[in-house]
Amino acid sequence: MSTLKTFFKDTIIYGLATVLPRLMNFVLVPLHTDTLGTASYSDNTTFYVYAAFFNVLLTYGMETAFFRFFSKSEEKSKVFSTALISLMVTTIFFLIVVLSFSVELAELVNLKESYFNLLIGVLVLDAIVVIPFAYLRATGKPIKFTAIKLSNIFIYVLLNFFFLWAIPKFAIKASYYDGDDLVKYIFVANFAASVVTFLMLTPYFFKVKLQFSKVIFKQLLNYGLPIMVAGLAYVINENFDKWLLPTVLGKDINGAYSGCYKIAVFMTIFIQAFRLGAEPFFFNHAKEKNAKETYAIIMKYFVILGSFMLVFIIAYLDIFKSLIVRDESYWVAINIVPIVLFANLCLGIYFNLAIWYKLTDKTRYGMYLSLVGAIITILFNVIMIEKIGFIAAAWATLLAYGTMMVLSYYLGQKHYEVPYNLKSIVSYLVLAIILSVLALNTNANYYINTALLLVFLAIIYVLEKNELKRLLTRL
């Protein structure tokens, strides 16, 4: 069971690379919502919607493709070099083209030109370091990976507090400072952090002799392009609502919706930590005799932990909203939180299930599934937001991810059968939903909600204690 031990160790370390930055961002949400009005917070959200979209476009699935071929190739240095050169060339080409039409493009995406130029700077720097970061993960260097990630977020957070809190608080005189355009300094902080990250990873650009293999490039591209399409569809699933809401219901509503959406950050942290540890683990252990059984065990305990987090956050939702989004003008959208939490849990299960098309090189199925989700997201939002308001956006997210999860399980069992304990998984999900609904209807009575949470833990203990003891003794 040493493979599980490796998985847990890497996931914990990678989890720090995800959890700590997210917790630092968690600290920033009160700062941003206290400092920015809902309309300005909407501008901040729009900036990162476009950042997410172009980040996927610029990396075109190369990160996942690199993992796949680096893990099984005998010419690892050539895979690394080819992927690195590919991203460098396409990113520089993108930079030249975009800067040539920056005024027109900024107007097209409805951003100030200064915001747009900072966005391009962040995108270019982040795209260039994708392969060096992937190399650290693929070669089992999670500590170095984590240290660089934490340095990035530390600089970002520090500069946010300097610009948005320290300067106004202590009346620091700075000729460059514009107190009427505070949101700009969030983007400046992001750009500065990206510059430092790029400099820290610079040695990895000279790690191997630069050589470009057309054969390897073709393999990477064929594998990665469906991943890119799937990634674009994922961005639509995550961000189409925040792009559409300002147009249909106004920036103030979008700002409130986006602020409350942040309360689901804890589920997102859990899922991202899992992905960082799981993706290289799944590829590296695919040939082991008991690989499928290991994947099934990981899935079950992923669902248990995710279900517990769902109940926990909903049980203490009033506390979380007071800590994270303190401005009551944002609370108009608080009802989206339980829906978004469960939607993200479905997404985490989908990511877990995704091993079947990644390990069988059928990444086109991931593209198809994500496109299905994107179509559901677009249609439901366009049709329903005008009828039932912003809550439609949350339901669209759940419907999209839930559909993707179910379809992926069905297709996966046909192409790469894994012995998932479906009965146990469904039972825990249903139990979590029931307890969450009960917790939402206790008028924030924390005694009752704590009792509900303890009931869930007791059921987990009774049903899983024997298997957990067996797993722990073998780790």
Q: Is the pTM of this model over 0.85?
A: no
Residue 193: what pLDDT? 94
Residue 21: what pLDDT? 65
Mean pLDDT by 10 residues, the chain (475 residues): 57 63 71 80 78 86 82 79 91 92 84 86 92 84 84 91 88 78 88 94 83 87 84 83 86 86 79 67 65 81 90 90 80 90 92 83 83 92 92 93 94 87 92 93 88 92 80 59
Structural domain boundaries in the chain: 2-474
Residue 277: what pLDDT? 62
- The C-alpha atoms of residue 300 and residue 280 are separated, in whole angstroms, by 19
Residue 1: what pLDDT? 46
- The C-alpha atoms of residue 143 and residue 132 are separated, in whole angstroms, by 14
